Amino acid sequence: MANPLSKHWTLDPDFTFLNHGSFGACPKVVLEAQAGLRAHLEAEPVRFFMRELEEALDHARHALATFVKADPEGMVFVRNATEGVNTVLARYPLKPGDALLTTDHAYAACKNALDDLAERTGAEVIVAKVPFPIKGAYQVVEAIEAAVTPRVKLALLDHITSPTGLVFPIPEIVQKLEGHGIACLVDGAHAPGMIDLDVNAIGASYYTGNCHKWLCAPKGAAFLWARADKRATLRPLSISHGANSTRTDRSKLRLEFDFTGTHDPTAHLCVPVAIDAIAAMVPGGWPAVRAHNHALVIAGRDMIIAGIGGEAPAPDEMLGSLATIMLPDAKPGDEPGKFIFQPLGDRLYHQHKIEVPVISWPHPPRRQVRIAAQLYNDLAGYGRLRDALVSGL
C-alpha cells in the first residue's frame, strides 16, 4: 500500500526514490504556485520586475528568516548553497602563507571553490580528518581543533555532511573558531527543514543553505546570510545596477543582491508556500516533520544493516534525515562512474528501479549507500533496497 503522503508529490510511482538529499523533490502545491507566479510574470514582465519584485522578495525573505531564525537584514537569496559559498570566497582577502580550514567530509564542489581561492592567493588548504565510522560529535571537534594553526583565516564547515550524512556540532565548533579570530563559513546545504536551525545563535560569519532540499521549495532557491560585521564587504558574483545605486531606502546588500540581472526569481518567492505546505502535511507541523523523518531514516538504516550485516557507523543523535550505511569494498574493475557514484547504484536503478546514491568515499574501493527520509518515504522502500543489496552486493 502506497504511503498516503506520496500523493502530494509528482515522483514516478514506478521507482523507489530514496535520494531526496541530492536535489530534493517539490510538492504539487508548490509547483502550482510557481506556475502561477511565472504566468503573472509573463503577463507583464516590466510590472513584475520593476514594480513588484522587491516587495515580493522582502516577503519571502522574512518568512524564510523567521523559519531559520536569522536576522533578515543579513539574508540574501542565491541559487544554491554552492553559489553561496563561492560568493563569500570570490573576494575573500587572503595573502600567501594564509591558511583555509575544512574537513575531509566537505562537499566536493565547495572544496573545489576553496582550492581555487588558495591557488589564486597563495594560501594553503588544511583538511581536518574526521573519523568515519564515528563514535560521537566530540571527535569532530577534536579533529578540527587539532588542525587549527595561527595561519588559518577562514574555515569552511559543513553543517550536515553530504558523503556521510553527519550533523556536525556546528554551534560548538563555530564558537571555538570565531573565538580564535577565524571566520566561519557554514555550508548548511541540508540544514533548513532537516534540523531545527537557529542561524543567529550559531554566530558564524557566514551561513548558506538550500531551500530546494528539505524545505521542498523549487530548484534554484537558497540563501546566504552574513553577520552584521561582515555585510559591508559581501558582494554578489554578478555586479549589476545596485553597485552604483544612490538609494537610501534599502541596504546596499539588498540593492546589490536582489537584482543581479534578469532571471526567474519564482523559486525564491515560493519558499513561504513550501514552508507552509510541508508543515500542513503532518499534525504538529515542522517539529513533527523533522521527528518523523529522523525516526524513519534510523529505522530504514537499521533494517538494511540487519539484512546485509555490519554496524551503524554513526550514533543516532548525529543524524537528521540522512543515513550512510557501509558496504563491502567494491570488486576490482567496479570503479566509480560519473561524479563519485558506484556502478552498484546504476544496477539498483536499472535492475531494481531504486534511486539511491552508492558513493565511493573517501576513495575506491570503499563504498557506502546513503539513504534519505522524507514524508513520501516508507519502510517498504528501505525493505526493497535491503533485498536488492542482499542479492546484488
Q: Residue 338 pLDDT more than 80? A: no
What are the residues whose beta carbons fall under 8 Å from the beta carbon of 52, sequence distance 6 or more? none
Question: Is the pLDDT reported for residue 343 higher than 90?
Answer: no
Express each pLDDT in 128-167 by its tens digit: 999 999 999 999 999 999 999 999 999 999 999 999 999 9
Which residues have C-beta within 8 Å of that of residue 164, sequence separation ≥ 6? 105, 132, 313, 314, 324, 361, 368, 370
The sign of the dihedral angle between the CA atoms of 314, 316, 322, 327 is positive
Eight-class DSSP state of 205 = S
Helix (H) or strand (E) holding 368: strand 367-372
Q: Please say whether the beta carbons of 304 and 371 come within 8 A.
A: yes
pLDDT at position 331 is 81
Note whether 250 and 310 are within 8 A (CB).
no
pLDDT for the residue 330: 85
Distance CA 214, CA 195 (A): 9
**DSSP class per residue in 41-95:** HHHSHHIIIIIIHHHHHHHHHHHHHHHHT--GGGEEEESSHHHHHHHHHHT----
At residue 341, the pLDDT reads: 62
Q: What is the DSSP letter of 311?
A: -
Element (H, E) at 175: helix 170-179
Q: What is the DSSP string of 330-358?
A: PPTT----STTB-HHHHHHHHHH-EE--E
Encode pLDDT of 278-325 as tens digits.
999 999 999 999 999 999 999 999 999 999 999 999 999 999 999 999
pTM over 0.95: yes
Domains and CATH numbers, the chain: 4-18+284-392 (3.90.1150.10), 30-275 (3.40.640.10)
pLDDT digits (tens, 9 = 90+) for 266-278: 999 999 999 999 9
